[in-house]
Structure 1
């Protein structure tokens, strides 16, 4: 039996060439925009911990004056003497607790600024993660139609994006719940539910078992997540299936031809490693190419002006360089991501013609 995962590598390259070449600036830029949000098939958001206790922002309200009880200030000489010696220090701090240095208001403002930056980061990360679900369908529809219309495809698949988002959230919750149940079972069954039994020896004895269990959970989660992205999403885009309906069809195909899907799983990992190496090499080259001109201009501005304006202008040039680097990085990912997605859809259609999301692309490249 021929392995479609092997035979379809060349076809995926041909499909990528037929879509992206000859080079058209508009197609590449729109594809780069979409691929930027996908980032290889989704985004994982790390837990963001809150930070607090930036300092005592309340203060004591300042000293109450020299005549007040418990005043922090004491006159070291009669008032007349103090007034007659304006050049000398007539007042001294009798206790070290007097507020000094940075004002409380400034510290409070700094704390608010830090919280605002952290909040903005969390919001951007959430927006990125949510949009990635919708961009999956924009990319898939573009590969099916061999043209890219971001706004139109986005509007057409709003419902699909919401369903995919909910499915991924539920999937993550289920796997996290399983991991917690396994951890709790180990704690109560093996350690007797006693915190006193948790020690270096018990942790060392159980570490191999827990690593194996959680490795299985991580791998199984990755397979389900990945198959949803590369197989179920095309079924949803091409045949208007829901997530569960798409998985129902895919599962029937997997159980009937497990060898083909195992072969795809193996070769897709190999190809992703190769694509990752190519991406890293091109990214390093792009970084060097961008760093040299923008770095020289920023340094020249700072050295020439050597003031606040120079620092601001150097920072602006640095931000422009970062933006250029992000655009170049996304452009590098366009053909690589296109190749991997075409490869998956070609394999899917060869395994089961009824689930082929790109019959026209397949027939055109093979006719050539």
Structure 2
């Protein structure tokens, strides 16, 4: 029996080329916008900073340097009276005594506002990703991209997918908590005093096994929902559960084909990830050099707060350019993986083929 997961790799490449080439700027930019929201817009580069030496100011006379030792050069009574004298001086006319507290309160509110805005943006990103799945799938089916039209056509599907993913995450989290509670009460006697290094080491094998089972099962359900059920919802107007019902019946009838897809999709994703990382590093270097030089030149030329602001603006522009390039890199890679899944699905079961016209066109060529 032929494995469709092997045979359809070349067809997925041909489908990707037929959709994205010849190059059209509008198509690529709209696809990059959509791909960014489904998690394909990053370039795989993480900047990690360590704050372990946050209190070390680097000078010999600083708080953590060897010159931090000191001796009182005045009687203790005199030293203890300094804060009172300072308070009297700060309270003189024309110097607002509450200014430091007001500044701290304002800074705290600003930090909270930034954190709140960041959380809202993350939530909005996560919710929009469910709708963009259908925009991407519809674009691959039609071989043209219309973001607003496809978005409005699949609002209901996006909501259903969001709720399904939310419930899926809650169920898996609940299972993990139940297993953790069972281990705590059965293996540790329900005593917090029994929780320690020795018990953690003794149960480490169990924890690893449980985590692996939960992670793999969650990943399979989540992934198959994305690459198989979403196309069924898009092409055949199925719901999430009805789409899974059809898919489950097909999986029981052709387990070998789906296992082969699972294996080869992981291999292909690893390869795609390597290509994405290499191109992302190249893009990072290419963007860093010009924008970094311009920002540094502005700072050196002005050497004041205006220079710092302008350098920051240039840095933000560089980050925006990097995000756009990263999303453009992901466009052909994501398109290939999605076409690959839909081609395999249609070859396994023709009744569930979401792209019959695309399949006929590329195989006719």
- The alignment's TM-score, normalised by the length of structure 1, stands at 0.85
SS at match of 2:189: coil
Q: Distance in 2 between matches of 1:85 and 1:167?
A: 64
Q: Distance in 2 between matches of 1:85 and 1:191?
A: 56
Runs of 4 or more above 3 Å deviation? 40-65, 69-102
* Cα displacement (A) at 1:48: 18
SS at match of 2:250: helix
Contact residue 5 and residue 261 of structure 2 kept, 8 A? yes
Contact residue 76 and residue 90 of structure 1 kept, 8 A? no
Contact residue 90 and residue 97 of structure 2 kept, 8 A? no
Q: Count the aligned residue pairs.
A: 365
Structure 1 stretches of 5 or more lacking a match? none
Partner of 1:183: 180
The 3 A distance-change label for structure 1 pair 55 and 162 is farther
SS at match of 1:315: helix
Contact residue 48 and residue 122 of structure 1 kept, 8 A? no
Contact residue 141 and residue 237 of structure 1 kept, 8 A? yes
* Cα displacement (A) at 1:196: 2.3
Contact residue 32 and residue 41 of structure 2 kept, 8 A? no
Q: Distance in 1 between matches of 2:261 and 2:127?
A: 28
* Cα displacement (A) at 1:200: 2.2
Q: Distance in 2 between matches of 1:85 and 1:192?
A: 57
RMSD of the alignment, in Å? 8.4
* Cα displacement (A) at 1:194: 1.8
SS at match of 1:75: coil
Q: Distance in 1 between matches of 2:49 and 2:75?
A: 56
Q: Which has the higher contact order (CA 8 A, sep 6+)?
A: 2
- The alignment's TM-score, normalised by the length of structure 2, stands at 0.85
Bigger mean CA deviation after superposition, 41-50 or 123-132 = 41-50
Q: Distance in 1 between matches of 2:47 and 2:176?
A: 17
Q: Distance in 1 between matches of 2:255 and 2:237?
A: 25
Bigger mean CA deviation after superposition, 186-195 or 10-19 = 186-195
Contact residue 45 and residue 280 of structure 2 kept, 8 A? no
Structure 2 stretches of 5 or more lacking a match? none
The 3 A distance-change label for structure 1 pair 63 and 328 is closer
Contact residue 59 and residue 104 of structure 1 kept, 8 A? no
Determine which structure has more spread, i.e. the larger CA radius of gyration: 1
* Cα displacement (A) at 1:116: 0.4
